[in-house]
Chain A
Amino acid sequence: MRHHDGPPADLAVVGAGPAGMAAAVEAARAGLAVVLVDSGARLGGQYYRHAPEGFHARRPGALHHGFRRFTRMAAALDASGAEVRLGRRVWAVEKVTGPGEDDLVAVHCLAGERDERRETVLARRLLIATGAHDRPLPFPGWDLPGVFTAGGAQALLKGDLVVAGRTVVVAGTGPFLLPVAAGLAAAGARVAGVFEANGRFGLAPAVLAHPGKLVEAAGYARRLAAHRVPYLGRHAVVAAHGGDELTHVTVARLGRDWTPGARRTIECDALAVGYGFVPQIELATQLGCATRGGGDGPAVVVDEGMRTSVPGVYAAGEPTGVGGAELAEVEGGIAGRALAADLGRDAGRAPGSARRRAALTAFAAAMTRAYPVRDGWQGWLLDDTLICRCEEVPYARIKEARALGATDARSLKLLARPGMGWCQGRMCGYAVARLAGEDPAPPRRPIAQPVRLGDLAGEPGPPDFAGPPEPAGRPDFAAGEDPR
């Protein structure tokens, strides 16, 4: 057996956002021994990211919608007896069989950002609640400092109380742009515009059916209007400019398929740009959980109790399909109760949660339909536009590879090597797939997080561990997405 302390837990939860917290609370209340791990320094995940203690914020929820839900959940978690381990990056999960024991799941973590001590949590059941990350699209200059993902600008604000710039442009697609812009404006940035690539009111019919969402959307609209922030549909930032840092962006009018039309430039020192989110499902694919495509890209298939296709492995929140914090919390609660019941405990009942899950899932589906990514973005690319930021692969090299016969994403990766660097294809994966004319495939990452190799040297890895190709020029990292 590997490094681990004490007897196996009943449940390991990876991810302390709304889904993971809700599940841990329900499961621990029902009597399960729960270990909740998260890579962050504080509970809450991306949605409830908040400033460190050192700021002594007297109104810590001022930057959030529904922060009281988080404080209630954090208190419940505290009272539940679940063990919380923060600052743990999970780099692999595997099934193991102990002598005389049932199948267990080993969750391999690195504790600490600087020293990366190895730590393994053994548990009888696993819940994957790893959230999502932004889905960026490439455009000329998107690697200039000052260009942020929408979630990145939001994280800097909510987590560190630092505003991304003095004059900020917000662009991309989806309703998430509104809270980002409203937060930046409230914090003192001049928001020069919010540019929505789809229509502005695509979601209106679905919002009308959800009074809570309507109130939330109206709140953002009011705050943007109060700061005189223009909100334009069918516009996108198609280029970012500057020397060492961003100084201005080019905004274009878009056709229905996002073909760029008339252009103008806007001076700004920060750009927050996001085209939706990508579920983080590499732990599920490491274990062989079934996935489905469509919508926002590959997501984990689950049943009505959030069970994946692999016995003992559950998933909740964004990994089952991007749906936001409210749905994540509902799914976490369902998972926690199902886990308790599956392990023979009485978890009580939460009437209505299945119905709430169905309604919120339908809302998420309406959102995906209203704010799709259209392939016209490929018209923004120039030959020297980087597609892969890590390996600095320009569009010209992708075109060369295609001309050489690389017609699918896998061959493109082998030939031009996009997605083979430190971010393991998380930033360019969607773009590379679409440039190959495919829908994004489920990730294949034998190591879920890039690991500085010294930390793993001499340590046993999972038995099926296959070292991924070493990213050129970074001998101290094991990263990259396995192109096979």
Chain B
Amino acid sequence: MTAGHPGEPGPPAPGHPGEGPPHPGHQGEPGTPRPGHPGEPGPPHAGHLVSARPEPGFPIRVDGRPVTAVPGQTIGAVLYANGIRSWRTTRAGRPRGLFCGIGVCFDCLVTVNGEASLRACRTEARPGDEVTTG
């Protein structure tokens, strides 16, 4: 919120090779259990439709759990691809996740590196991001 927030991450550094993230080609493949959601497979991955050859993914953490992001993906998409679909709780205690997908509804808010109230559907993941939900 304020300038020069200590948690401000640096510019995206593509690749992060050697850190051993799960390969992004596996992200969201049908039947593959998500790392972040034990036992619960995520939705199918549409990369095949556009003949994607995704760059090596990079790790981010969601409430401490490591998940893999493809460079350029939004945090909301990374959560979904990893089987995490419900992540915010309203004042009345209702669960929320993505709804409009285009930055209009503000249902998908997350905290990233201490910065609160960011729209997951609009915020691109950066290597090393610490996402907290609640």
Contact = CB atoms under 8 A, between A and B. Distances in A.
Contacts of B43: 162-166, 189, 269-270
Given A423-B104, A454-B2, A156 B77 contact: yes
A59 B100 contact: no
* Interface SS majority for chain B: loop
A183 to B, nearest CB: 8
A186 B49 contact: yes
Contacts, number: 208
B95 A114 contact: no
B43 to A, nearest CB: 4
A295 to B, nearest CB: 20
Contact of A54 (B55, B76, B116): B55
B50 A476 contact: no
B63 interface: no
B91 A54 contact: no
Contacts of A479: 106
B48 to A, nearest CB: 8
A450 B106 CA distance: 9
Interface string A217-254: 00000000000000000000000000011000000000
Given A162-B45, A163-B28, A152 B100 contact: yes
A187 B29 CA distance: 11
B50 A57 contact: yes
Given A62-B49, A423-B104, A476-B1, A114 B85 contact: no
Interface of B: 1-3, 5, 8, 14, 28, 30, 41, 43-55, 70-74, 76-77, 80-81, 85-87, 90-92, 94-107, 112, 115-119, 121-124
Interface of A: 39, 41, 46, 51-63, 113-115, 133-134, 143-149, 151-157, 159-166, 186-189, 244-245, 269-270, 389-390, 392, 421-423, 426-427, 450, 452, 454-455, 473-474, 476-477, 479
29 contacts: A51-B50, A51-B52, A56-B54, A57-B47, A59-B50, A114-B115, A133-B102, A143-B107, A146-B85, A149-B100, A151-B101, A151-B102, A156-B101, A159-B101, A160-B74, A160-B81, A161-B45, A161-B77, A163-B45, A164-B80, A186-B49, A188-B48, A390-B106, A392-B90, A423-B106, A450-B106, A454-B2, A476-B116, A477-B117
